[in-house]
Amino acid sequence: MTLETAFERHALPLEYPFTIARGTATEAEVVTVRIEDEDGTVGVGGAGPSPHYGETVDTVTTVLPDLLAVVEDCGDVHQLERIERRMRETVNRNPAARCAVSIALHDLAAKRLEVPLYRYWGLDPAQTLETSYTIGLDDTETMREKTETALERGHGTLKVKLGTDRDLEIIETIRSVAPDVSLFVDANEAWTPREAVSKIERLTEYDLAFVEQPVAAEDPEGLQFVYERSPLPIAADESCITLEDIPRIADRCDIANLKLMKCGGLREAKRMIHAARAHGLEVMCGCMTESNASIAAACHLAPLLDYVDLDGSLLLAEDPYDGVPMPDGRIDLDGLERAGTGAVQR
């Protein structure tokens, strides 16, 4: 089998400036990978690198030629395990770059068999979930307006970014306009352990599903301190990057939040899900601000998950790719009428 590969970078404007405790972004810088077989079938994958994890579009485009050389040398798109092993041997870090290739390979493999990716994996499309929609940090009135817009668009699950001196005011305001939605919060490592416990105790009155990454990832003892005292479930995000992290967080949280761009590929993501289950954890799949070139693939993991936070493409002003249908935020794998991941250029 002869495979031809290519990639290109994009700067995609966001609908609104997106602020978390660490800073503000106005665009998503991404890289799209294409792998074409000898019959002209094309697999598409995307990288949404995060500087927080040491990656940028520059680092991604620097290593992609070496990663794609592995694909071309192997020549068999169905040898997914062997290719991903050789990619790790070639480029040990740069998980977002490896992930883009992994997604493109899975997309092409499923397209060659003329089935959607969830069916290639043998998953039940009826066992799916509703993605949360993120309300980024802003002045309180703007966050209220963003919440009202999300409700008008049919979103029934909201994630609210915290990490300010007015966190309680923010949640009180959002609950006042969205009393019936499922709601959880994400501090993005912004609180100290004692501050986290104090705030969580006060947040319980607002009927939150859970609290994501309350303290710094570099403070595992602090995460355990919060977990042991929190009246709400705790999700680990920045503390949960690769498969090796699952046993480390197993007694420090209730929910493991994996992301394709952190772990390096779809096969590794599935291993993390199974490992988290074996340790008694619930599992969520999150994302960066990304296009459907990568979000679509993550949607196919939904039957294996408890929560999905896959709104990265919904935060863009315009996505160059269509993906898995999401009516009112619900991931509709059954309604997907395309093979592969479902990502297709508009």
Check 111, 159, 161, 262 and give the catalytic one: 161
Tokens 């490992």 map to which residue?
A: 275
Dump the DSSP string for 310-338: --GGGGBS--SEE-S--GGGB--GGG--S
- Provide the pairing of β-strand 23-36 with 42-47: antiparallel
Check 146, 159, 259, 262 and give the catalytic one: 259
Measured distance CA(127)–CA(114) in Å, rounded = 21
CB atoms within 10 A of CB 263: 24
307-308 sheet: strands from edge to edge: 133-135, 157-161, 182-186, 211-212, 234-236, 255-259, 282-286, 307-308
- Provide the pairing of β-strand 4-20 with 23-36: antiparallel
Nearest CA to 206 out of 179, 228, 187 is that of: 179
Whether 81 sits among the annotated catalytic residues: the reply is: no
Whether 138 sits among the annotated catalytic residues: the reply is: no
Question: What's the token pair of residue 145?
Answer: 């307006």
Dump the DSSP string for 212-268: E--S-TT-HHHHHHHHHH-SS-EEESTT--STTHHHHHTTT-SEEEEEHHHH-SHHH
Q: What are phi and psi of 120, to 5 degrees?
A: -55, -35
Residues 6+ apart with CB under 8 A from 90: 66, 67, 70
Check 37, 130, 167, 237 and give the catalytic one: 237
Tokens 């002003």 map to which residue?
A: 317
Check 37, 107, 189, 212 and give the catalytic one: 212
Whether 259 sits among the annotated catalytic residues: the reply is: yes
Measured distance CA(326)–CA(225) in Å, rounded = 37
Helices 80-90 and 95-112: crossing angle in degrees, nearest 10, is 160
Check 37, 55, 138, 186 and give the catalytic one: 186
Catalytic positions: 161, 186, 212, 237, 259
